[in-house]
């Protein structure tokens, strides 16, 4: 039986609490897996992506009770922590280490004005030791279709292991949500054509669930996601270093800008 421990980031400055809503979706599945949750409640000072974000946040005890009531009604095993910080990313990363969380969940608050996630959010995604789930407004439970993006053309050990982790997480999530799992692999030209049989052996999926399209990765992944009406996309953060890592990170960020559904970022 797999155990999962979630660190859920709740920003009281937002009207919608998407990460908390997804947490409730997960709990309502009532699967056999052991799940624990730690809520980290505090405002993201650098969230300039949302033009409607208030300059100050006033929250009463009643507001917090209303926020947490759905969890109490479901009998959820959770703990809560409030934080005020100048270094949002560092505080969350340290909380993740402190509570030994394997998944960090936070909200993409700017789906309506999508111009890219904030620097602090991107730094968290890039540097986290755990999976990072960015919950977006385009996904509403129940989750029925999951798309995992791999790159099988790069053969080094680090990328091979990353592909394996992406597919492992895809299988787990598809089983948990009883969702269909699809895999997409973009390629740039005919000489870069991905091996469908290899992807089939790695994923155990039938041919119709494996998608290969030519084009920029962000365009291919976004296009297949829209075609399938996917509720969740799983992406890998490149293990490369230096300039190559910066370029690859930029590609991953472009994917996240183009889709408005939940993203699971795997390091």
Task: Encode pLDDT of 10-43 as tens digits.
Answer: 988 777 889 999 999 888 887 777 889 999 998 7
CB distance 240 to 246 below 8 Å: no
Task: Encode pLDDT of 62-82 as tens digits.
Answer: 888 888 999 999 888 899 999
Task: Encode pLDDT of 43-65 as tens digits.
Answer: 776 554 555 555 666 778 888 88
Task: Encode pLDDT of 236-258 as tens digits.
Answer: 987 655 444 444 556 777 888 88
DSSP 174: H
CB atoms near residue 264 (< 10 Å): 22
How confident is the model at residue 14, as a pLDDT? 79
Question: Which element (helix H / strand E) includes 133?
Answer: strand 131-135
Which carries the bigger pLDDT value, residue 110 or residue 98?
98
CA gap 157, 179 in Å, rounded: 29
CB atoms near residue 82 (< 10 Å): 12
The CA-based angle 26-237-93, given to 5 degrees, is 65
CA gap 122, 136 in Å, rounded: 15
What domains can you pick out in the chain, each with its CATH number?
Answer: 3-135 (3.40.50.620), 145-266 (3.40.50.12370)
pTM, entire model? 0.86
Question: pLDDT-derived band of residue 111, with 50, 70 and 90 as boundaries?
Answer: very low
How confident is the model at residue 56, as a pLDDT? 67
Least confident segment among 71-75, 110-114, 261-265:
110-114
Question: pLDDT-derived band of residue 112, with 50, 70 and 90 as boundaries?
Answer: very low
């Amino acid at each position: 039986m797999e155990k999962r421990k979630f660190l859920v980031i709740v920003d009281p400055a937002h009207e919608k609490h998407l990460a908390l809503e997804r947490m409730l979706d997960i709990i309502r599945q009532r699967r056999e897996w052991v799940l624990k949750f730690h809520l980290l409640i505090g405002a993201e000072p650098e969230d300039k992506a949302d033009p409607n974000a208030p300059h100050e946040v006033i929250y009463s005890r009643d507001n917090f009770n209303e926020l947490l009531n759905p969890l109490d009604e479901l009998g959820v095993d959770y703990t809560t922590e409030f934080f005020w910080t100048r270094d949002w990313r560092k505080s969350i990363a340290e909380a993740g280490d402190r509570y030994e969380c394997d998944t960090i969940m936070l909200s993409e608050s700017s789906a309506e004005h999508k111009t890219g996630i904030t620097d602090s959010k991107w730094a968290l995604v890039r540097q986290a030791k755990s999976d990072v789930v960015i919950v977006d407004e385009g996904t509403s439970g129940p989750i029925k279709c999951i798309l995992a993006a791999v790159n099988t053309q790069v053969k080094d050990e680090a990328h091979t292991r990353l592909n394996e982790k992406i597919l492992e997480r895809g299988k787990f999530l598809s089983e948990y949500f009883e969702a269909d799992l699809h895999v997409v692999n973009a390629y740039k030209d005919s000489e870069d054509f991905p091996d469908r049989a290899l992807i089939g052996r790695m994923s155990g999926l039938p041919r119709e669930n494996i998608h290969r399209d030519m084009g920029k990765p962000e365009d291919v992944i976004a296009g297949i996601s829209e075609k399938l009406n996917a509720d969740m996309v799983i992406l890998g953060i490149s293990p490369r270093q230096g300039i190559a890592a910066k370029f690859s990170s930029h590609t991953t960020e472009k994917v996240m800008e183009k889709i408005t559904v939940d993203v699971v970022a795997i390091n």
